[in-house]
Structure 1
Amino acid sequence: MAVPTFVDRVTLHVKAGDGGNGIASVHREKFKPLGGPDGGNGGRGGDVVLRVESQVTTLVDFYHEPHRRAGKGLHGSGGNRSGAAGDDLVLEVPEGTVVRSGDGELLADMIGPGTELVVANGGRGGLGNAALASSKRKAPGFALKGEPGDERTITLELKVVADIGLVGFPSAGKSSLIAALSRSRPKIADYPFTTLIPNLGVVVAGDTTFTVADVPGLIEGASQGRGLGHDFLRHVERCAALVHVIDCATIEPGRDPLTDLDVIENELAAYGGLEDRPRLVALNKVDVPDARTIAEFVRAELADRGLEVFEISAASHEGLAALSYAMAEVVASTRRTVEPAPARRIVLSPPSADGGDDFSVVRQGEMWRVTGEKPERWVRQTDFTNDEAVGFLADRLARLGVEARLLELGAAAGEDVVIGSTDDAVVFDFDPQVVAGAELLGSRRGEDERLVQNHRRTTKERREALAARREHERVAREERERTSAAEDLWSEEDEDA
């Protein structure tokens, strides 16, 4: 299997680093029996960052390694020592890379060297018990877990950034022209579609240095996917000007310079977004006698259309100097009117609520489901093996207003309350008599007296109960469907009778 050297579209799976867990620790020192909590916080997970690098021209590295992961944050430790933050993962991409989400939503257009996109945010580290201590909670016997880092699937699509784009039919001489104008050495052969990937060449004309892109040959219907144009037309979107390279020596039936120009212009118009680009016309292969005659015949008509026309030969280099200076003039004019894009730093983050509640509560069958950024994040931070941590979660939810909202909607004690919208959601028994506030002073470390007095099912028991309830609903639904089908059959038999 051939290994590609140029890749302009790739699907990338990124995972930011998880935050480190906080630690529950008590300071121990001789003659200091009440040293107090000294558990450190967990370190933040590393971000996944895309950065524009001018030396990178392809996405081939992501083609070979499509799964990338940032560093995890380290756990905290005693003595108020926080864990180290995870290392950021910086992925270098070419200028002109378009980043889309897995469902095709545009996330960013990477223009300008040094531009960065934080595509996945690292998880925050959990707080240690030293940070959780307060005037009412002197010695917390628990700590918060670190948050998981963002996980995304994105699509990277490269649109080559060049000053001049060469467009034309296959075998029109575009590769020969870019090889004659620059030191680029693309593949050249006497058969169509020799160029399978865009080629870039650097051209110097006077005081102006600019880049020229050789786009794979276009044919009629390229904007609808025929040939290679559907995949590579996007590479001319960044170009300041377009040069039509027209083959004046073609012997194919139905082909002539004017018809070729009209076909390519129709495809560019169908693709869209290129109407404002200046056009130059290069009548190529005039070293062939018949081709020179045809070029002289159509030159006047092309000039009447307002096009600047050049008769050239990529083989003998005839007319290339005039063409290169004309391209340099167009590029210099564009650069005077368009300021270069500055480097930016873009951070993707979930949309914030517009002054509304931080959560929502809905009834689903016989259970209540609570969703929202804060409740779901707090659940992920909670160590459910520690009763005191569960009591702290209950306090936070009560202060947020979750309990009051459940009571307002008619929730009864003992009903199941599910927090989260994924398969990892946590199920609780609703107990509105649990009063918010710091844990009672009489309880042991790691316990909450409110939970000891009122026995609650474990998380495993709640999940098993939820699974059993869903199975019961499924069986009842199938029974109703069978009964309905039998009734329909009896009705049909009665009608036949």
Structure 2
Amino acid sequence: MTTFVDRVELHVAAGSGGHGCASVHREKFKPLGGPDGGNGGQGGDVILVVDQAVTTLLDYHHSPHRKATSGKPGEGGNRSGKDGQDLILPVPDGTVVQDKAGNVLADLVGQGTTYVAAEGGRGGLGNAALSSARRKAPGFALLGVPGGLQDIVLELKTVADVALVGYPSAGKSSLISVLSAAKPKIADYPFTTLVPNLGVVTAGSTVYTIADVPGLIPGASQGKGLGLEFLRHVERCSVLVHVLDTATLESERDPVSDLDIIEEELKQYGGLGDRPRMVVLNKIDVPDGKDLAEMVRPELESRGYHVFEVSAVAHMGLKELSFALADVVAKGRAAKPVEEATRIVIRPKAVDDAGFTVAREEDGLYRVRGEKPERWVRQTDFSNDEAVGYLADRLSRLGVETELMKAGARSGDGVAIGPEENAVVFDWEPTVMAGAEMLGRRGEDHRLDEPRPATQRRRDKQAERDEAEKEYDDFEPF
């Protein structure tokens, strides 16, 4: 039997970006044709999409770890890597996405509504894309950025206009079965209904949905029975209907006390005080049930409830109830504010927003946080001196060095870029000593310049040999 699951914890991982390629074009009679390394592919996103055909979160209960594919690395010959495929995860209509702390990230209502749960990493640039007039032959490429990771909680809240609440075996499922085409499991023992049932009702020109909430008993709001598990399914409903059993076999129960107990549970759960209420006295086909309904009806009406006497088994009073519900639903829809067209809001950054922050921690370490510097660090191949120098250039142009000096950093102080659990830590040396300029004019290769006369080439080679011999003569062993 299919199990109904309406709350799961999901671990999603987007695909990582592919690494860029560092390559030099070579062909016959042209051994140095310039950089031709391609870019890495973009990592795939993890996207939640509302699908009306999906009614449960069971698949994610059994397989809570989902990962999109990563981008392929770039190749020589200016061939970019293939992008990773997005991972599409269908979810039921009415799914609420939360983080582990309970903060709502998205409320997915309506067919096709999407939410990007984890963004794919950027692909690294190849050395062809990094070349410029100043950097003609980069000997490095950028690494791909790892994909995003997120632990989220999916919680399903049924999207219905009318919610039926009441004790087990009060006749809620029977009522749905005769008002709509829904065919829920029905039996004469408590907790027959283990999942919320949903039906579509047509009354005149109004079409509305109706759902029952199983398992409400005293203490449901504190987790007793099945109530707490399913009370979330009444949050979206615009009308609450109390289904009261007028033919119960339990001597200590009566319709009025049942109503008071269920109302107290709804109050304890919270957030439902503004919903209009109606009362349905069910099972009036039973003689004692009819008598009890006539006895308690005046008291219920004196409390302000609109009361209906029905029998789901004998199909008594259903038409009046159906049209009354349609009238309340139509009024509720008309009272909702008209949704305005989507507005594009542009929020430019402040003129003094540098895009990063520098803060000194208690242990004297200076920590740099910001989207750009952290991403640049992840893209750097630290085994390549030229790539490290390129990173230093980028950080210097961004103003990180200036802000470190303003914060009081001195030569040799520890600097960390990134969060505490995943940071790059180094000893800071300002300006030239930082290493940004010590590597010289990175990415330039005089062999790619215009051809020089043979005499000049011989002079240059002799100068290189003389310089090499001088460095060898100056070398002193340990």
CA distance in 2, matches of 1:379, 1:353: 25
Aligned letter for 1:440? G
Q: Does 1:55 align with 2:86?
A: no
Aligned in 2, Cα 1:53/1:286: closer, same or farther, shift over 3 Å? same
Q: 2:329 pairs with 327, 331, 334, which one?
A: 331
CA distance in 2, matches of 1:228, 1:272: 17
Shift of 1:70: 0.8
CA distance in 2, matches of 1:377, 1:164: 49
CA distance in 2, matches of 1:163, 1:443: 66
CA distance in 2, matches of 1:287, 1:401: 82
Q: 1:258 pairs with 253, 256, 259, which one?
A: 256
Aligned in 2, Cα 1:45/1:357: closer, same or farther, shift over 3 Å? closer
Shift of 1:169: 1.2
What is residue 140 of structure 1 aligned with on the other side? 138
Aligned in 2, Cα 1:352/1:306: closer, same or farther, shift over 3 Å? farther
Secondary structure in structure 2 of the residue aligned to 1:293 = helix
What is residue 474 of structure 1 aligned with on the other side? none
CA distance in 2, matches of 1:128, 1:160: 49
Kept in 1, the 8 Å contact 2:138–2:443? The answer is no
Q: 2:163 pairs with 158, 162, 165, which one?
A: 165
CA distance in 1, matches of 2:267, 2:350: 40
What is residue 85 of structure 1 aligned with on the other side? 83
Aligned letter for 2:169? S
Kept in 1, the 8 Å contact 2:55–2:92? The answer is yes
Deviations 1:265-312 (A, max 9, x none): 222222222223222211111111111011112222322333222111
Aligned in 2, Cα 1:53/1:341: closer, same or farther, shift over 3 Å? farther
Shift of 1:316: 1.3
What is residue 286 of structure 1 aligned with on the other side? 284
CA distance in 2, matches of 1:13, 1:442: 42
What is residue 40 of structure 1 aligned with on the other side? 38
What is residue 207 of structure 1 aligned with on the other side? 205
What is residue 181 of structure 2 aligned with on the other side? 183
Alignment gaps of 5+ in structure 2: 343-348, 446-478
Shift of 1:408: 4.1
Shift of 1:371: 3.2
What is residue 451 of structure 2 aligned with on the other side? none
CA distance in 1, matches of 2:269, 2:400: 52
Secondary structure in structure 1 of the residue aligned to 2:372 = helix
Alignment gaps of 5+ in structure 1: 345-350, 446-497
Aligned letter for 1:426? V
CA distance in 2, matches of 1:191, 1:352: 65
Kept in 1, the 8 Å contact 2:358–2:366? The answer is no
Q: Does 1:396 align with 2:394?
A: yes
Shift of 1:87: 0.7
CA distance in 2, matches of 1:440, 1:198: 70
Shift of 1:43: 1.1
Deviations 1:242-268 (A, max 9, x none): 211100112323322222222222222
Kept in 1, the 8 Å contact 2:386–2:442? The answer is no
Aligned in 2, Cα 1:30/1:97: closer, same or farther, shift over 3 Å? same
Q: 1:107 pairs with 94, 105, 118, which one?
A: 105
Aligned in 2, Cα 1:339/1:6: closer, same or farther, shift over 3 Å? farther
CA distance in 2, matches of 1:367, 1:279: 61
Kept in 2, the 8 Å contact 1:171–1:217? The answer is no
Shift of 1:341: 7.6
Kept in 1, the 8 Å contact 2:39–2:126? The answer is yes
Kept in 2, the 8 Å contact 1:114–1:343? The answer is no
What is residue 380 of structure 1 aligned with on the other side? 378
Residues 187-266 of structure 1 mapped to structure 2, 5 A cutoff: 187-266=185-264
What is residue 17 of structure 2 aligned with on the other side? 19
Count of residue correspondences = 439
What is residue 123 of structure 2 aligned with on the other side? 125
Deviations 1:217-243 (A, max 9, x none): 322232232222222111111112121
Secondary structure in structure 2 of the residue aligned to 1:126 = coil
Q: CA RMSD in A?
A: 2.8
Deviations 1:473-493 (A, max 9, x none): xxxxxxxxxxxxxxxxxxxxx
Kept in 1, the 8 Å contact 2:373–2:395? The answer is yes
Aligned in 2, Cα 1:112/1:353: closer, same or farther, shift over 3 Å? farther
Kept in 1, the 8 Å contact 2:389–2:435? The answer is no
Aligned in 2, Cα 1:340/1:17: closer, same or farther, shift over 3 Å? farther
Deviations 1:9-48 (A, max 9, x none): 0000000010011111112233444422121111111111
Shift of 1:342: 9.9
CA distance in 1, matches of 2:362, 2:37: 40
Kept in 1, the 8 Å contact 2:134–2:444? The answer is no
Secondary structure in structure 2 of the residue aligned to 1:51 = strand
The normalised TM-score by structure 1 is: 0.81
CA distance in 2, matches of 1:370, 1:238: 44
Aligned in 2, Cα 1:404/1:319: closer, same or farther, shift over 3 Å? same
Shift of 1:366: 6.0
Aligned letter for 1:14? V
Q: Does 1:303 align with 2:301?
A: yes
Larger CA deviation: 5-14 vs 389-398:
389-398
Shift of 1:162: 1.0
Shift of 1:177: 1.4
Q: 1:174 pairs with 162, 172, 175, which one?
A: 172
Shift of 1:436: 4.2
Secondary structure in structure 2 of the residue aligned to 1:315 = coil
CA distance in 2, matches of 1:185, 1:93: 23
Residue identity over aligned pairs, in percent, reads 62
CA distance in 2, matches of 1:300, 1:82: 78
CA distance in 2, matches of 1:257, 1:8: 30
Deviations 1:49-85 (A, max 9, x none): 1111122111111111111111111111122222121
Larger CA deviation: 295-304 vs 111-120:
295-304
Kept in 2, the 8 Å contact 1:45–1:149? The answer is yes
CA distance in 1, matches of 2:88, 2:438: 43
Aligned in 2, Cα 1:415/1:102: closer, same or farther, shift over 3 Å? same
Aligned letter for 1:206? G
Deviations 1:349-395 (A, max 9, x none): xx999825513242453654433322221111001111100111111
CA distance in 2, matches of 1:182, 1:199: 11
Aligned letter for 1:84? K
Shift of 1:409: 4.3
Kept in 2, the 8 Å contact 1:137–1:438? The answer is no
Shift of 1:415: 4.3
Deviations 1:90-119 (A, max 9, x none): 111111111001221111111121111111
CA distance in 2, matches of 1:163, 1:438: 70
CA distance in 1, matches of 2:396, 2:256: 76
Aligned letter for 1:290? D
Aligned in 2, Cα 1:147/1:353: closer, same or farther, shift over 3 Å? farther
